Amino acid sequence: MSDVRLTTLAFGGGCARKLPAADLGQVLRRLVPQSHAWVDPAAGPMEDAAVVCVPGGRTLVFTVDFITPIVDDPETFGAVAAANALSDVYAMGGEPRVALAVCGFPRDQLDLDVLEAIFRGGRDLAADAGCAVAGGHTIQDGELKYGLCVIGDVDPAHVLTHTRVCAGDRLVLTKPLGIGVAAQAAKQGVLDDESHAQFVRVMKTLNKGAKDAALSARAHAATDVTGFGLLGHLRHLLMGGGLSARVSAHAVPMLPFARGLAENGGVPGGSRRNLEYVTPHTHFDPSLSEVDKILLADAQTSGGLLIAVPPPRVDQLCEQLAAAGTLANAVVGEVVAGPPGTIEVRP
């Protein structure tokens, strides 16, 4: 297999490569959404996936997501990219069923056995989710990219759309933050083996258990925390519901080594752009440091679900998340009435 480090083939890895949210918003504001009988108009403007209502058929969740390398091992890269794409379906309350692979491959730099390993990693991870990779499309590209286009199904009465979030809902996060700074350290070769293994484990963990727990607890809404960071994705959730939120910074779970990496300057550009995006809409308590802020905006890849659940069912949700083996089940804030999309961050 090629000796080329996959992370050297991209100037940024994983979901940190997303187009900045401010740029995307500027473009989308100029476009009038196309109405269609199959497309659920009740979904919010920045949902994780489309909700498709086939006349006389099932309600479907439809998404596409692909990333550049965030790790050097090809099979692991394929698995992480697949988990990241499947997460968009889980964030809507859906169950992934079938997928197509999307790949840009630098044939002049990598051997074909690298491509085979990427496809194998994605196929096997999707199979663990009960989702078949039925085909796909590959092009020659100067930069390696891989992901999935996924179709799942969902109970139409329990779609976890942004528009269903309610004032008073508690916000529960199911994976620790810090993937962005960990990826930066891994690319620079300064992440130790134990920390690297933990970082990869977080990204490869499916959000199926989190989704099942959210539906069982009759949660109102959810989003997955990926390239726009916790605060960016929370802002989009709140915009969908026309509400505001309060977040307790010290309640947010973090990878144990993330703070040290950030304090040493290991912050990806995508995370810094995320903080710039949310700062005009966020009031940070003066006691919070710049590192506190950057970690809350850190660009995640295959991050956890952020679930909005009514207060009487918070304990039930957390118990079910623990039983499902999720990597975190932390209550990190609450939804409140206020200017849409604004956030208050307390210590």
**Structural domains in the chain?**
6-157 (3.30.1330.10), 159-346 (3.90.650.10)
Of all residues in the chain, the percent with pLDDT exceeding 70 is 99
Could you read off the pLDDT of 135-180 as tens digits, one per residue?
A: 999 999 999 999 999 999 999 999 999 999 999 999 999 999 999 9
Beta strands 343-346 and 132-140 are unpaired
Characterise 93 by phi-psi region: left (phi > 0), alpha (psi -120 to 50), beta (else).
Answer: left
Burial category of 120 from C-beta neighbours within 10 Å (exposed 0-12, middle 13-18, buried 19 and up)? middle
Residues 6+ apart with CB under 8 A from 77: 6, 69, 70, 71, 118, 121, 146
10 Å Cβ neighbour count for 78? 28
In angstroms, the CA 91 to CA 113 distance is 33
**Do 60 and 99 meet the contact criterion of CB atoms below 8 Å apart?**
no
In angstroms, the CA 89 to CA 96 distance is 6
Cα 239 to chain centroid distance, Å, stands at 17
Cα 272 to chain centroid distance, Å, stands at 17
The pLDDT assigned to 234 comes to 98
Could you read off the pLDDT of 230-287 as tens digits, one per residue?
A: 999 999 999 999 999 999 999 999 999 999 999 998 899 999 999 999 999 999 999 9
Residue entry with tokens 């990926």: 226
In angstroms, the CA 333 to CA 250 distance is 10
Could you read off the pLDDT of 289-320 as tens digits, one per residue?
A: 999 999 999 999 999 999 999 999 999 999 99
Q: 48 falls in which pLDDT band (50, 70, 90)?
A: very high
Helix (H) or strand (E) holding 200: helix 193-204
Tokens for 179, please give them.
Answer: 């993937």
Which DSSP string do the residues of 2-69 spell out, in sequence order?
A: ----GGGGSSS-BGGGSPPHHHHHHHHTTSPPPP-TTB-TTS-TT-SSEEEE-TTS-EEEEEEEEEB-
Q: 108 falls in which pLDDT band (50, 70, 90)?
A: very high
In angstroms, the CA 181 to CA 271 distance is 8
The pLDDT assigned to 18 comes to 87
**Do 129 and 185 meet the contact criterion of CB atoms below 8 Å apart?**
no
**Do 227 and 16 meet the contact criterion of CB atoms below 8 Å apart?**
yes
Of all residues in the chain, the percent with pLDDT exceeding 90 is 85
The mean predicted confidence, pLDDT, of the chain is 95
**Do 231 and 173 meet the contact criterion of CB atoms below 8 Å apart?**
no
Helix (H) or strand (E) holding 323: helix 314-324
Average pLDDT over residues 104-125: 97
**Do 127 and 154 meet the contact criterion of CB atoms below 8 Å apart?**
no
Point out the residues that are catalytic. Answer: 15
Which DSSP string do the residues of 154-199 spell out, in sequence order?
A: --GGG---GGG--TT-EEEE-S-B-HHHHHHHHHHT-S-HHHHHHH
10 Å Cβ neighbour count for 34? 6
The pLDDT assigned to 28 comes to 84
Average pLDDT over residues 48-66: 94
The pLDDT assigned to 196 comes to 97
Greater confidence (37 vs 100) lies with 100
For residue 73, pLDDT beyond 90: yes
Burial category of 68 from C-beta neighbours within 10 Å (exposed 0-12, middle 13-18, buried 19 and up)? buried
